Amino acid sequence: MCFSMSADVIAGVALLPVAAVCLREVRTPRELPFASLPLIFALHQLTEALVWHGAGDYVSAGVQHAAAMVYVLVAFPLLPFLVPLAVLLLEPQGLRQRVAPFVVLGAVVAAYLLYAVLDGPLLVREEPHALVYDVDLTFGPMWAVLYIVAVIGPSVLSGYPSIVAFGLLNLVGLTVVAIVYVQAFASLWCVWAALTSSLIAVHMVLRRRLPDFHRLEGRALAPA
């Protein structure tokens, strides 16, 4: 996250109640991946708090390196696959085909980024107000674009307005980060996504209004 170690801790702790609300609303396994995103973001920010130089007063260098690796594994391979999959599972039958290509794209992006992270080395630089994670990527800009498409596309195409809003806000965040501080792309976008997690909670609460045949069985709603 930008700013500082303490800001990471505050963001992570603040997201825990949001995560609890989302998980409490789950009524079917199809909802669990999407509802789990705020918890993942919360733990993600708390993990990054251990990476900051100041955390060296509390944990060993080995723990800091492990935390950096966990942070990058979530940001790089996990999210571009999990986010489109989570959206696809929420969509009703018959409408999932518009999201399915993004799941495939996300899987390809995730596979390459996983290889790049594990192939190493992973270097972390602390710059003013941000951490920069250096991973050796071939054709980095291309993979960055594919990452954005995989993560944002499904949300924008969702049939649920709250998920569309989540996607559009993250598109704004990704665009701003790419323009203003591209070196810290992973760190800054992840905190932006975390802060927009309130829309995930909104969606999960609104799902109470959906009829069981739609929410539990995944059948499409009849046209109004």
pLDDT digits (tens, 9 = 90+) for 120-150: 788 888 877 778 888 888 888 898 889 989 9
What pLDDT is attached to residue 137? 85
Query: Does residue 50 lie within any of the structural domains?
Result: yes
Domain that holds residue 207: 5-215
- Contact between residue 116 and residue 180 where contact means Cβ atoms under 8 Å apart: no
The whole-angstrom distance between residue 80's C-alpha and the CA centroid of its chain comes to 7
* 59 in any annotated domain: yes
Q: pTM to 2 decimals?
A: 0.88
Structurally, how many domains does the chain consist of? 1
- Residue 151 domain flag: yes
Other C-beta atoms closer than 10 Å to the C-beta of 179 total: 8
Q: Write phi, then psi, for 127 (nearest 5 degrees).
A: -110, 170
- Flag whether 221 is in a domain: no
Rounded to 10 degrees, the C-alpha dihedral 215/217/218/221 comes to -70
In-domain check, residue 224: no
Q: Decide: 15 and 37 in contact? Cβ < 8 Å.
A: no
Rounded Cα–Cα distance for residues 85 and 150 (Å): 10
CA distance 60 to 223: 58
Nearest Cα neighbor of 200 from 90, 75, 80 is: 90
For the record, the structure tokens of 43 come out as 């733990």
Is residue 158 in a domain?
yes
| Residue 134 pLDDT | 86
**What's the CATH number where 157 sits?**
1.20.1070
Has residue 180 been placed in a domain?
A: yes
The pLDDT value recorded for residue 139 is 86
Tell me, yes or no, whether 135 lies in a domain: yes
- Predicted confidence (pLDDT) per residue in 155-206, tens digit: 999 989 999 999 998 888 777 776 766 666 666 666 677 778 889 999 999 9
